[in-house]
Chain A
Amino acid sequence: MKTKKGLAIALYSLFLVLSLTLGFKPGIQTGKNLLDFTVQMMKVLPFAFILIGLFEIWVPREAVERHMGSASGWRGHLWAVILAAPMVGGLYVAFPMAYTLHKKGAGLGAIFTFLGASSLCRIPMLIFEASFLGVKFSMARLAVSLPLVIGSSAILGRVLEKKGYEIHLEE
Protein backbone atom coordinates (compact mmCIF):
# COMPACT_ATOMS: atom_id res chain seq x y z
CA MET A 1 0.00 0.00 0.00
CA LYS A 2 2.69 2.44 0.97
CA THR A 3 4.80 1.72 -2.13
CA LYS A 4 1.72 2.03 -4.32
CA LYS A 5 1.05 5.46 -2.90
CA GLY A 6 4.67 6.45 -3.42
CA LEU A 7 4.53 5.21 -7.00
CA ALA A 8 1.36 7.21 -7.70
CA ILE A 9 2.95 10.37 -6.31
CA ALA A 10 6.17 9.76 -8.29
CA LEU A 11 4.31 9.15 -11.56
CA TYR A 12 2.18 12.23 -11.01
CA SER A 13 5.27 14.37 -10.33
CA LEU A 14 6.92 13.02 -13.47
CA PHE A 15 3.77 13.87 -15.45
CA LEU A 16 3.85 17.44 -14.15
CA VAL A 17 7.55 17.93 -14.87
CA LEU A 18 7.23 16.49 -18.39
CA SER A 19 4.14 18.61 -19.10
CA LEU A 20 5.97 21.71 -17.97
CA THR A 21 9.05 21.05 -20.11
CA LEU A 22 7.08 19.93 -23.18
CA GLY A 23 4.36 22.54 -22.82
CA PHE A 24 1.54 19.97 -22.54
CA LYS A 25 -1.44 22.21 -21.73
CA PRO A 26 -3.70 19.80 -19.75
CA GLY A 27 -0.69 18.87 -17.62
CA ILE A 28 0.12 22.50 -16.90
CA GLN A 29 -3.54 23.07 -16.02
CA THR A 30 -3.35 20.12 -13.62
CA GLY A 31 -0.32 21.71 -11.96
CA LYS A 32 -2.22 24.97 -11.59
CA ASN A 33 -5.16 23.12 -10.04
CA LEU A 34 -2.78 21.42 -7.63
CA LEU A 35 -1.33 24.74 -6.50
CA ASP A 36 -4.81 26.27 -6.10
CA PHE A 37 -6.10 23.43 -3.98
CA THR A 38 -2.98 23.10 -1.89
CA VAL A 39 -3.31 26.77 -0.95
CA GLN A 40 -7.04 26.34 -0.23
CA MET A 41 -6.46 23.31 1.97
CA MET A 42 -3.54 24.83 3.81
CA LYS A 43 -5.78 27.70 4.81
CA VAL A 44 -7.88 25.17 6.74
CA LEU A 45 -5.94 22.05 7.69
CA PRO A 46 -3.27 23.33 10.14
CA PHE A 47 -5.89 25.14 12.17
CA ALA A 48 -8.30 22.22 12.06
CA PHE A 49 -5.61 19.87 13.36
CA ILE A 50 -4.63 22.26 16.17
CA LEU A 51 -8.28 22.30 17.22
CA ILE A 52 -8.33 18.50 17.06
CA GLY A 53 -5.25 18.40 19.31
CA LEU A 54 -6.79 20.83 21.80
CA PHE A 55 -10.02 18.83 21.74
CA GLU A 56 -8.19 15.57 22.52
CA ILE A 57 -6.31 17.13 25.44
CA TRP A 58 -9.04 19.20 27.05
CA VAL A 59 -12.37 17.47 26.43
CA PRO A 60 -12.81 14.65 28.94
CA ARG A 61 -13.62 11.24 27.51
CA GLU A 62 -16.43 10.86 29.99
CA ALA A 63 -18.25 13.90 28.54
CA VAL A 64 -18.09 12.65 24.94
CA GLU A 65 -19.16 9.19 26.05
CA ARG A 66 -22.13 10.49 27.98
CA HIS A 67 -23.41 12.78 25.21
CA MET A 68 -22.46 10.81 22.11
CA GLY A 69 -21.77 7.24 23.27
CA SER A 70 -23.65 4.24 21.93
CA ALA A 71 -26.17 4.54 24.76
CA SER A 72 -26.90 8.24 24.19
CA GLY A 73 -29.72 7.59 21.68
CA TRP A 74 -31.11 10.51 19.68
CA ARG A 75 -29.11 13.02 21.74
CA GLY A 76 -25.89 11.63 20.29
CA HIS A 77 -27.16 12.33 16.79
CA LEU A 78 -28.26 15.83 17.82
CA TRP A 79 -24.78 16.56 19.18
CA ALA A 80 -23.25 15.23 15.99
CA VAL A 81 -25.32 17.69 13.93
CA ILE A 82 -24.49 20.58 16.31
CA LEU A 83 -20.77 19.80 16.06
CA ALA A 84 -20.89 19.52 12.28
CA ALA A 85 -22.90 22.68 11.60
CA PRO A 86 -20.19 25.32 12.10
CA MET A 87 -17.46 23.31 10.34
CA VAL A 88 -15.43 24.53 7.38
CA GLY A 89 -13.72 22.39 4.75
CA GLY A 90 -16.03 19.43 4.37
CA LEU A 91 -15.33 15.73 4.43
CA TYR A 92 -11.54 15.95 4.41
CA VAL A 93 -11.70 17.73 7.78
CA ALA A 94 -14.60 15.61 9.02
CA PHE A 95 -12.76 12.28 8.71
CA PRO A 96 -9.87 13.13 11.08
CA MET A 97 -12.39 14.72 13.44
CA ALA A 98 -14.55 11.59 13.34
CA TYR A 99 -11.53 9.52 14.36
CA THR A 100 -10.95 11.80 17.36
CA LEU A 101 -14.59 11.64 18.42
CA HIS A 102 -14.62 7.86 18.20
CA LYS A 103 -11.40 7.66 20.20
CA LYS A 104 -13.09 9.73 22.89
CA GLY A 105 -16.02 7.32 23.10
CA ALA A 106 -18.60 8.56 20.59
CA GLY A 107 -20.81 5.76 19.23
CA LEU A 108 -20.65 4.71 15.59
CA GLY A 109 -24.19 5.90 14.86
CA ALA A 110 -23.31 9.42 16.03
CA ILE A 111 -20.05 9.26 14.06
CA PHE A 112 -21.81 8.46 10.79
CA THR A 113 -24.38 11.18 11.46
CA PHE A 114 -21.47 13.55 12.06
CA LEU A 115 -19.92 12.59 8.71
CA GLY A 116 -23.25 12.99 6.93
CA ALA A 117 -24.13 16.26 8.65
CA SER A 118 -20.72 17.75 7.94
CA SER A 119 -21.37 17.26 4.25
CA LEU A 120 -25.05 18.26 4.37
CA CYS A 121 -25.62 21.06 6.82
CA ARG A 122 -22.52 23.11 7.34
CA ILE A 123 -23.91 26.60 7.89
CA PRO A 124 -21.30 28.50 5.82
CA MET A 125 -22.10 26.23 2.87
CA LEU A 126 -25.88 26.43 3.38
CA ILE A 127 -25.84 30.22 3.18
CA PHE A 128 -23.88 29.99 -0.05
CA GLU A 129 -26.22 27.37 -1.49
CA ALA A 130 -29.37 29.28 -0.60
CA SER A 131 -28.05 32.45 -2.22
CA PHE A 132 -27.56 30.66 -5.55
CA LEU A 133 -30.39 28.12 -5.61
CA GLY A 134 -32.94 29.70 -3.28
CA VAL A 135 -33.93 29.17 0.35
CA LYS A 136 -36.71 26.76 -0.61
CA PHE A 137 -34.21 24.47 -2.36
CA SER A 138 -31.83 24.40 0.61
CA MET A 139 -34.58 23.85 3.14
CA ALA A 140 -36.16 21.07 1.07
CA ARG A 141 -32.80 19.40 0.62
CA LEU A 142 -32.09 19.53 4.34
CA ALA A 143 -35.57 18.42 5.37
CA VAL A 144 -35.30 15.29 3.21
CA SER A 145 -31.64 14.35 3.50
CA LEU A 146 -30.93 14.94 7.17
CA PRO A 147 -33.56 12.51 8.55
CA LEU A 148 -32.45 9.95 5.95
CA VAL A 149 -28.83 10.31 7.05
CA ILE A 150 -29.63 10.12 10.77
CA GLY A 151 -31.86 7.07 10.31
CA SER A 152 -29.40 5.14 8.19
CA SER A 153 -26.48 6.15 10.42
CA ALA A 154 -28.28 4.74 13.44
CA ILE A 155 -28.86 1.45 11.61
CA LEU A 156 -25.35 1.28 10.14
CA GLY A 157 -23.83 2.11 13.54
CA ARG A 158 -25.81 -0.60 15.28
CA VAL A 159 -24.95 -3.26 12.69
CA LEU A 160 -21.23 -2.42 12.80
CA GLU A 161 -21.11 -2.24 16.59
CA LYS A 162 -22.62 -5.71 16.75
CA LYS A 163 -19.83 -6.89 14.50
CA GLY A 164 -17.25 -5.39 16.82
CA TYR A 165 -16.06 -2.86 14.23
CA GLU A 166 -13.88 0.01 15.42
CA ILE A 167 -12.39 3.04 13.75
CA HIS A 168 -8.61 3.05 13.77
CA LEU A 169 -5.94 4.62 11.65
CA GLU A 170 -4.78 1.88 9.29
CA GLU A 171 -1.10 1.61 8.65
Chain B
Amino acid sequence: MLRFAVRRALLAIITLLILVAIIFMLTRVFPSDPARQLAGPFAPQERVDAIAAANGFNDPLTTQFGRLLKSVVTFDYGDSFSSPGESVISLVVPALKKSAQLVFFALFLTLPIAIIGGIIAARKKDTLLDRLIVTLGLASASIPEFVSGVLLQYILGVRLGWFPAISNVPDNAGILTTLDYLVLPALSILIVYFGYIARITRAGTIAALEADYTRTAFMKGLTTSQVMRKHVLRNSLQPTVAVTGTQIGYLFGGLVGLEIVFNYPGLGRLTFTAATKQDFPLLTACVITVAIIFMITTLLADLIIAWMNPRARLNLGE
Protein backbone atom coordinates (compact mmCIF):
# COMPACT_ATOMS: atom_id res chain seq x y z
CA MET B 1 0.00 0.00 0.00
CA LEU B 2 2.83 2.38 0.88
CA ARG B 3 4.50 1.76 -2.47
CA PHE B 4 1.23 2.44 -4.19
CA ALA B 5 0.72 5.70 -2.30
CA VAL B 6 4.25 6.88 -3.10
CA ARG B 7 3.80 6.03 -6.77
CA ARG B 8 0.52 7.91 -6.89
CA ALA B 9 2.07 10.91 -5.19
CA LEU B 10 4.85 11.00 -7.79
CA LEU B 11 2.30 10.77 -10.58
CA ALA B 12 0.37 13.60 -8.96
CA ILE B 13 3.44 15.82 -8.94
CA ILE B 14 4.08 15.19 -12.64
CA THR B 15 0.44 15.89 -13.42
CA LEU B 16 0.63 19.14 -11.48
CA LEU B 17 3.73 20.18 -13.39
CA ILE B 18 1.99 19.61 -16.71
CA LEU B 19 -1.05 21.49 -15.44
CA VAL B 20 1.03 24.45 -14.35
CA ALA B 21 2.68 24.54 -17.77
CA ILE B 22 -0.71 24.52 -19.48
CA ILE B 23 -2.04 27.29 -17.25
CA PHE B 24 1.08 29.35 -17.86
CA MET B 25 0.63 29.01 -21.61
CA LEU B 26 -3.11 29.75 -21.43
CA THR B 27 -2.60 32.93 -19.46
CA ARG B 28 -0.22 34.12 -22.16
CA VAL B 29 -2.96 33.72 -24.76
CA PHE B 30 -5.02 36.55 -23.23
CA PRO B 31 -4.29 39.87 -24.89
CA SER B 32 -4.57 41.99 -21.76
CA ASP B 33 -1.71 43.79 -20.06
CA PRO B 34 -1.61 42.77 -16.37
CA ALA B 35 0.18 45.96 -15.35
CA ARG B 36 -2.49 48.07 -17.02
CA GLN B 37 -5.10 45.91 -15.32
CA LEU B 38 -3.56 46.53 -11.91
CA ALA B 39 -3.11 50.24 -12.51
CA GLY B 40 -6.57 50.83 -13.94
CA PRO B 41 -7.56 51.61 -17.51
CA PHE B 42 -6.98 55.34 -17.19
CA ALA B 43 -3.81 55.36 -15.10
CA PRO B 44 -0.79 57.22 -16.47
CA GLN B 45 1.66 55.04 -18.39
CA GLU B 46 4.42 55.77 -15.85
CA ARG B 47 2.40 54.07 -13.16
CA VAL B 48 1.70 51.11 -15.44
CA ASP B 49 5.43 50.77 -16.19
CA ALA B 50 6.30 50.96 -12.51
CA ILE B 51 3.84 48.19 -11.69
CA ALA B 52 5.16 46.03 -14.53
CA ALA B 53 8.70 46.44 -13.26
CA ALA B 54 7.78 45.79 -9.63
CA ASN B 55 5.92 42.59 -10.50
CA GLY B 56 8.39 41.28 -13.04
CA PHE B 57 5.86 41.27 -15.89
CA ASN B 58 8.62 42.09 -18.35
CA ASP B 59 10.94 39.31 -17.19
CA PRO B 60 11.83 36.46 -19.57
CA LEU B 61 9.14 33.77 -19.79
CA THR B 62 11.41 31.17 -18.17
CA THR B 63 11.87 33.41 -15.14
CA GLN B 64 8.13 33.98 -14.91
CA PHE B 65 7.46 30.24 -15.21
CA GLY B 66 9.97 29.56 -12.47
CA ARG B 67 8.18 32.06 -10.26
CA LEU B 68 4.89 30.37 -10.96
CA LEU B 69 6.32 26.96 -10.02
CA LYS B 70 7.65 28.42 -6.82
CA SER B 71 4.28 29.91 -5.98
CA VAL B 72 2.62 26.52 -6.50
CA VAL B 73 5.08 24.89 -4.13
CA THR B 74 4.87 27.60 -1.48
CA PHE B 75 1.15 28.35 -1.95
CA ASP B 76 2.11 32.00 -2.22
CA TYR B 77 0.53 33.34 -5.38
CA GLY B 78 1.06 36.97 -4.51
CA ASP B 79 -1.67 39.56 -4.81
CA SER B 80 -4.81 39.29 -6.86
CA PHE B 81 -5.00 41.41 -10.01
CA SER B 82 -8.71 42.07 -9.67
CA SER B 83 -8.73 42.80 -5.94
CA PRO B 84 -5.81 45.14 -5.29
CA GLY B 85 -4.11 44.60 -1.96
CA GLU B 86 -5.69 41.17 -1.40
CA SER B 87 -3.47 38.11 -1.39
CA VAL B 88 -4.68 35.31 -3.61
CA ILE B 89 -4.64 32.79 -0.80
CA SER B 90 -6.84 35.04 1.33
CA LEU B 91 -9.43 34.82 -1.45
CA VAL B 92 -9.09 31.12 -2.21
CA VAL B 93 -9.23 29.72 1.32
CA PRO B 94 -12.67 31.11 2.26
CA ALA B 95 -14.08 30.01 -1.08
CA LEU B 96 -12.58 26.56 -0.59
CA LYS B 97 -14.22 26.28 2.82
CA LYS B 98 -17.55 27.31 1.38
CA SER B 99 -17.27 24.76 -1.40
CA ALA B 100 -16.31 22.07 1.09
CA GLN B 101 -19.41 22.80 3.15
CA LEU B 102 -21.68 22.54 0.14
CA VAL B 103 -20.01 19.50 -1.40
CA PHE B 104 -19.94 17.40 1.74
CA PHE B 105 -23.48 18.32 2.71
CA ALA B 106 -24.66 17.44 -0.79
CA LEU B 107 -22.79 14.12 -0.67
CA PHE B 108 -24.18 13.46 2.79
CA LEU B 109 -27.67 13.74 1.32
CA THR B 110 -26.95 12.10 -2.02
CA LEU B 111 -24.81 9.05 -1.29
CA PRO B 112 -27.10 7.15 1.10
CA ILE B 113 -30.19 7.80 -1.03
CA ALA B 114 -28.49 6.99 -4.32
CA ILE B 115 -26.70 3.88 -3.00
CA ILE B 116 -29.81 2.50 -1.36
CA GLY B 117 -31.78 3.30 -4.51
CA GLY B 118 -29.19 1.48 -6.63
CA ILE B 119 -29.16 -1.59 -4.37
CA ILE B 120 -32.95 -1.77 -4.28
CA ALA B 121 -33.09 -1.49 -8.06
CA ALA B 122 -30.53 -4.29 -8.39
CA ARG B 123 -32.33 -6.53 -5.90
CA LYS B 124 -35.63 -5.85 -7.72
CA LYS B 125 -34.09 -6.10 -11.16
CA ASP B 126 -36.57 -5.86 -14.05
CA THR B 127 -39.48 -5.04 -11.77
CA LEU B 128 -41.56 -1.90 -11.93
CA LEU B 129 -39.62 -0.46 -8.99
CA ASP B 130 -36.29 -1.07 -10.77
CA ARG B 131 -37.54 0.59 -13.93
CA LEU B 132 -38.92 3.51 -11.93
CA ILE B 133 -35.59 4.11 -10.18
CA VAL B 134 -33.60 3.75 -13.39
CA THR B 135 -35.91 6.02 -15.41
CA LEU B 136 -36.13 8.59 -12.65
CA GLY B 137 -32.38 8.52 -12.29
CA LEU B 138 -31.83 8.94 -15.99
CA ALA B 139 -34.23 11.85 -16.15
CA SER B 140 -32.83 13.62 -13.11
CA ALA B 141 -29.23 13.11 -14.20
CA SER B 142 -29.96 14.81 -17.50
CA ILE B 143 -31.08 18.06 -15.85
CA PRO B 144 -28.15 20.40 -15.22
CA GLU B 145 -27.89 21.29 -11.55
CA PHE B 146 -28.40 25.00 -12.16
CA VAL B 147 -31.67 24.31 -13.99
CA SER B 148 -33.07 22.23 -11.15
CA GLY B 149 -31.60 24.86 -8.85
CA VAL B 150 -33.67 27.63 -10.44
CA LEU B 151 -36.81 25.50 -10.15
CA LEU B 152 -36.19 24.58 -6.53
CA GLN B 153 -35.27 28.15 -5.74
CA TYR B 154 -38.52 29.47 -7.15
CA ILE B 155 -40.84 26.80 -5.78
CA LEU B 156 -39.32 26.01 -2.37
CA GLY B 157 -37.59 29.32 -1.79
CA VAL B 158 -39.69 32.11 -3.31
CA ARG B 159 -43.21 30.65 -3.51
CA LEU B 160 -43.34 28.41 -0.46
CA GLY B 161 -40.62 30.06 1.58
CA TRP B 162 -39.48 26.78 3.11
CA PHE B 163 -35.77 27.41 2.63
CA PRO B 164 -33.63 30.49 1.92
CA ALA B 165 -33.72 31.12 -1.82
CA ILE B 166 -30.23 32.60 -1.76
CA SER B 167 -27.37 30.81 -0.04
CA ASN B 168 -25.60 33.74 1.59
CA VAL B 169 -24.99 32.15 4.97
CA PRO B 170 -24.92 34.81 7.71
CA ASP B 171 -21.68 35.36 9.58
CA ASN B 172 -21.24 33.24 12.68
CA ALA B 173 -24.18 31.05 11.68
CA GLY B 174 -24.52 27.77 13.57
CA ILE B 175 -24.40 24.43 11.84
CA LEU B 176 -28.18 24.10 11.49
CA THR B 177 -28.57 27.60 10.07
CA THR B 178 -25.73 26.94 7.66
CA LEU B 179 -27.32 23.71 6.49
CA ASP B 180 -30.66 25.47 6.10
CA TYR B 181 -29.05 27.89 3.66
CA LEU B 182 -27.43 25.01 1.79
CA VAL B 183 -30.50 22.80 1.41
CA LEU B 184 -31.57 24.07 -2.01
CA PRO B 185 -28.19 23.91 -3.78
CA ALA B 186 -27.52 20.55 -2.12
CA LEU B 187 -30.87 19.23 -3.34
CA SER B 188 -29.99 20.44 -6.84
CA ILE B 189 -26.80 18.38 -6.68
CA LEU B 190 -28.71 15.44 -5.29
CA ILE B 191 -31.11 15.49 -8.24
CA VAL B 192 -28.23 15.22 -10.74
CA TYR B 193 -26.10 12.75 -8.85
CA PHE B 194 -28.86 10.47 -7.61
CA GLY B 195 -29.39 9.01 -11.05
CA TYR B 196 -25.70 8.82 -11.80
CA ILE B 197 -24.63 7.07 -8.61
CA ALA B 198 -27.75 4.92 -8.30
CA ARG B 199 -27.24 3.48 -11.77
CA ILE B 200 -23.58 2.72 -11.14
CA THR B 201 -24.43 1.13 -7.82
CA ARG B 202 -27.19 -0.89 -9.47
CA ALA B 203 -24.86 -2.19 -12.17
CA GLY B 204 -22.16 -3.08 -9.65
CA THR B 205 -24.66 -4.79 -7.36
CA ILE B 206 -26.18 -6.83 -10.19
CA ALA B 207 -22.70 -7.97 -11.25
CA ALA B 208 -21.84 -8.89 -7.68
CA LEU B 209 -25.13 -10.68 -7.11
CA GLU B 210 -24.54 -12.79 -10.21
CA ALA B 211 -20.92 -13.59 -9.33
CA ASP B 212 -19.77 -17.10 -8.42
CA TYR B 213 -18.61 -16.09 -4.96
CA THR B 214 -22.11 -14.83 -4.13
CA ARG B 215 -23.67 -18.10 -5.27
CA THR B 216 -21.10 -19.96 -3.19
CA ALA B 217 -21.90 -17.84 -0.16
CA PHE B 218 -25.61 -18.60 -0.46
CA MET B 219 -24.81 -22.31 -0.91
CA LYS B 220 -22.74 -22.20 2.26
CA GLY B 221 -25.94 -21.27 4.07
CA LEU B 222 -25.32 -17.59 4.80
CA THR B 223 -28.40 -15.36 5.13
CA THR B 224 -29.19 -12.77 2.49
CA SER B 225 -28.19 -10.02 4.88
CA GLN B 226 -24.82 -11.68 5.57
CA VAL B 227 -24.17 -12.24 1.88
CA MET B 228 -25.03 -8.65 1.01
CA ARG B 229 -22.89 -7.22 3.79
CA LYS B 230 -19.83 -9.46 3.53
CA HIS B 231 -19.66 -10.27 -0.17
CA VAL B 232 -21.91 -8.17 -2.39
CA LEU B 233 -21.51 -4.62 -1.09
CA ARG B 234 -17.73 -4.85 -0.71
CA ASN B 235 -17.51 -5.56 -4.41
CA SER B 236 -20.49 -3.74 -5.82
CA LEU B 237 -19.61 -0.38 -4.29
CA GLN B 238 -16.13 -0.17 -5.77
CA PRO B 239 -17.29 1.61 -8.97
CA THR B 240 -19.42 3.91 -6.82
CA VAL B 241 -16.40 4.84 -4.70
CA ALA B 242 -14.27 5.45 -7.80
CA VAL B 243 -16.90 7.68 -9.41
CA THR B 244 -17.54 9.60 -6.20
CA GLY B 245 -13.82 10.24 -5.85
CA THR B 246 -13.54 11.83 -9.25
CA GLN B 247 -16.81 13.74 -8.93
CA ILE B 248 -15.79 15.45 -5.70
CA GLY B 249 -13.09 17.31 -7.62
CA TYR B 250 -15.67 18.45 -10.13
CA LEU B 251 -18.08 19.51 -7.41
CA PHE B 252 -15.43 21.74 -5.86
CA GLY B 253 -14.60 23.62 -9.03
CA GLY B 254 -17.37 22.99 -11.51
CA LEU B 255 -20.54 24.27 -9.88
CA VAL B 256 -20.24 27.69 -11.45
CA GLY B 257 -23.85 27.89 -12.64
CA LEU B 258 -25.26 26.65 -9.36
CA GLU B 259 -23.12 28.99 -7.29
CA ILE B 260 -24.21 31.95 -9.40
CA VAL B 261 -27.88 30.97 -9.16
CA PHE B 262 -27.67 30.81 -5.36
CA ASN B 263 -25.11 33.65 -5.09
CA TYR B 264 -22.91 31.21 -3.21
CA PRO B 265 -19.28 32.32 -2.83
CA GLY B 266 -17.67 28.97 -3.60
CA LEU B 267 -14.58 27.98 -5.52
CA GLY B 268 -16.41 27.55 -8.83
CA ARG B 269 -17.71 31.10 -8.82
CA LEU B 270 -14.32 32.39 -7.74
CA THR B 271 -12.66 30.54 -10.62
CA PHE B 272 -15.21 31.96 -13.03
CA THR B 273 -14.65 35.48 -11.70
CA ALA B 274 -10.89 35.05 -11.99
CA ALA B 275 -11.23 33.87 -15.58
CA THR B 276 -13.58 36.67 -16.65
CA LYS B 277 -11.48 39.34 -14.95
CA GLN B 278 -8.29 37.77 -16.32
CA ASP B 279 -6.89 37.62 -12.82
CA PHE B 280 -4.09 35.18 -13.66
CA PRO B 281 -2.66 34.60 -10.16
CA LEU B 282 -6.12 33.92 -8.79
CA LEU B 283 -7.07 31.75 -11.75
CA THR B 284 -3.89 29.74 -11.38
CA ALA B 285 -4.45 29.25 -7.67
CA CYS B 286 -8.06 28.17 -8.20
CA VAL B 287 -7.20 25.67 -10.92
CA ILE B 288 -4.28 24.24 -8.98
CA THR B 289 -6.43 23.94 -5.87
CA VAL B 290 -9.10 22.04 -7.77
CA ALA B 291 -6.43 19.84 -9.33
CA ILE B 292 -4.99 19.02 -5.92
CA ILE B 293 -8.47 18.16 -4.64
CA PHE B 294 -8.96 15.92 -7.68
CA MET B 295 -5.73 14.10 -6.93
CA ILE B 296 -6.40 13.72 -3.25
CA THR B 297 -9.94 12.43 -3.72
CA THR B 298 -9.05 9.98 -6.49
CA LEU B 299 -6.12 8.76 -4.41
CA LEU B 300 -8.40 8.30 -1.42
CA ALA B 301 -10.91 6.48 -3.61
CA ASP B 302 -8.19 4.13 -4.84
CA LEU B 303 -7.06 3.46 -1.30
CA ILE B 304 -10.61 2.75 -0.18
CA ILE B 305 -11.08 0.39 -3.11
CA ALA B 306 -7.81 -1.34 -2.22
CA TRP B 307 -9.02 -1.71 1.35
CA MET B 308 -12.33 -3.12 0.16
CA ASN B 309 -10.84 -5.53 -2.34
CA PRO B 310 -7.63 -7.54 -1.74
CA ARG B 311 -7.29 -8.20 -5.47
CA ALA B 312 -7.13 -4.49 -6.09
CA ARG B 313 -4.29 -4.24 -3.58
CA LEU B 314 -2.41 -6.86 -5.55
CA ASN B 315 -2.98 -4.92 -8.74
CA LEU B 316 -1.73 -1.77 -7.04
CA GLY B 317 1.59 -3.41 -6.46
CA GLU B 318 1.44 -4.82 -3.02
Are A and B interaction partners?
no
Binding site for B on A (CB under 8 A): none
Binding site for A on B (CB under 8 A): none
